[in-house]
Structure 1
């Protein structure tokens, strides 16, 4: 059976390693397009051929998108000259970006009218997981579309869940990030309080890891970022976290649940952006608490 040709748009921080894994593990020919030539040059060593959008949409049977936001994804698909007007009937788009449920459903409906299949498959876990090919991916799409794309997703993910119909993947990803960063907020508060009360964050977090406060957030965001105060740029930044949490708040409002914790987190993320930390790794929200005035 002939393998479908895979197209990939957006080979940035997460997209580059994902594209590389598909090219080296799936057995399918992979073509890619991105305004930045550097990652395309690196991917060429792994068999990925750089092409323009015309060639990509003419040749690719399945097109993966790894883009900064749902709004960018919508533009790439629906704007004049976008994918919706270029791809032929029967082809498939897979959105790896984190997009709002509303945008996801709008794009899916638009594509359905043109006979183009769509799935949302936002990626979870870190850039290190993307490099290792061990991402977690919840997928929203019909069973038929999921069956078609699952082998390619498993090339870069160790955990793949068919969450339901279109938009279900985004629901899972958005709520995953809501819970994760509410935990990061709690760790940020605990670190600042503990430090001022005489217990250093590294000691505090090590003790947490032996008790009921242990978590992925503690061991990764707490121990590796908040305790040593390391918040590099070109990691998942505060501004991206704010985008994801705004999606969670909007989703809560749509289903008539007041997401009080997420609202508080959203306010904290905005304060961090206002303080100049928007491009830093998202646990940099802890800087707000470290810099608060000491008691008189």
Structure 2
């Protein structure tokens, strides 16, 4: 991007605020921001961002980053009267950092293209801590020219940026990543419950796993830090958020005519956890649902 480019960032939640802060600190450019919550706006203004006060004000930016909790929120912020799409213009680039449905992503890309604006899907992976550290992983769906323009900006808050193909491919990769992680953590939770019932502690089990072929990122992060520690805080990636992502994976599977049995199990466990009152908790809390089933048998 040129030195005169203006950037905008809408959606300053758990992930959006630290991402935006890195953008402010590392680009040294004018960053317009907007959120319905005044607290993160105030904090980022202190860091050097500019409160755009409205979507109309934010839409003046040459590159607009969007970080929303769900596809439903993304659709609304783009398509509502006075939304981002209404103000889109030729030469502008829209970058969706949210995890959004594939069909919606392609529909929005087409709508923005009709206004002359480029669109990229760049869903982020890893944790709030990674967002704070600027070490997120991002899978990007965009044409080669758009990717070349936005990659340096994404690297302000990500240590891994992968160009996955045209628009929509970033969402495919991110959604399936989460589907696989849920399957892995579900297996860890089931293994822990079975081991406990046989007199082997979770700590011993996971230590052995870490030295063998069952070792994984999921074990060392979700397994040790949540399942073993029994720590499932709020304002981390929640049960309801993960259920949303697995639901998107199941939608893609249905469209492809594939019966994704393991993903369906993960979705069911996440639903049960939410119904049990854990919807806002860190999603490996599904272990509690598995433990409850083992105690009933």
Shorter-chain TM-score bucket reads over 0.9
**Alignment partners' CA distance in 2, 1:145 and 1:49:** 25
**Alignment partners' CA distance in 1, 2:197 and 2:114:** 59
Match of residue 146 from structure 1: 147
CA-CA distance at 1:226 after TM superposition: 0.5
Match of residue 290 from structure 2: 289
CA-CA distance at 1:210 after TM superposition: 0.5
Match of residue 45 from structure 2: 44
CA-CA distance at 1:144 after TM superposition: 1.1
| 1:123 lines up with 2:113 in the alignment | no
CA-CA distance at 1:293 after TM superposition: 5.2
CA-CA distance at 1:255 after TM superposition: 1.7
**Alignment partners' CA distance in 2, 1:12 and 1:79:** 20
**Alignment partners' CA distance in 2, 1:20 and 1:3:** 19
Match of residue 253 from structure 1: 254
Residues 9 and 33, structure 2, Cα contact 8 Å, conserved in 1: yes
| 1:136 lines up with 2:128 in the alignment | no
TM-superposition CA deviations, 1:89-143 (whole Å, max 9, x none): 2211100000010110111111111111100000011111100000010100111
Residues 3 and 27, structure 1, Cα contact 8 Å, conserved in 2: no
Structure 1: 5+ residue stretches without partners: none
| 1:215 lines up with 2:221 in the alignment | no
Match of residue 193 from structure 2: 192
How many residues are treated as equivalent by the alignment?
295
**Alignment partners' CA distance in 2, 1:118 and 1:57:** 14
CA-CA distance at 1:79 after TM superposition: 1.6
**Alignment partners' CA distance in 1, 2:293 and 2:105:** 39
Match of residue 156 from structure 1: 157
Match of residue 27 from structure 1: 28
Mapping of residues 257-268 of structure 1, within 5 Å? 257-268=258-269
Match of residue 57 from structure 2: 55
**Alignment partners' CA distance in 1, 2:227 and 2:238:** 14
Query: Secondary structure, in 3 states, of the residue corresponding to 1:294?
Result: helix
Query: Secondary structure, in 3 states, of the residue corresponding to 1:213?
Result: coil
Query: Secondary structure, in 3 states, of the residue corresponding to 1:162?
Result: strand
| 1:206 lines up with 2:215 in the alignment | no
Query: Secondary structure, in 3 states, of the residue corresponding to 2:236?
Result: coil
TM-score by length of 2: 0.96
Residues 233 and 280, structure 1, Cα contact 8 Å, conserved in 2: yes
Query: Secondary structure, in 3 states, of the residue corresponding to 2:266?
Result: helix
TM-score by length of 1: 0.97
**Alignment partners' CA distance in 2, 1:61 and 1:295:** 58
CA-CA distance at 1:295 after TM superposition: 6.6
CA-CA distance at 1:28 after TM superposition: 2.0
Query: Secondary structure, in 3 states, of the residue corresponding to 2:59?
Result: helix
TM-superposition CA deviations, 1:156-211 (whole Å, max 9, x none): 00010110000000000000000011111111111111111111111211111011
**Alignment partners' CA distance in 2, 1:295 and 1:241:** 26
Structure 2: 5+ residue stretches without partners: none
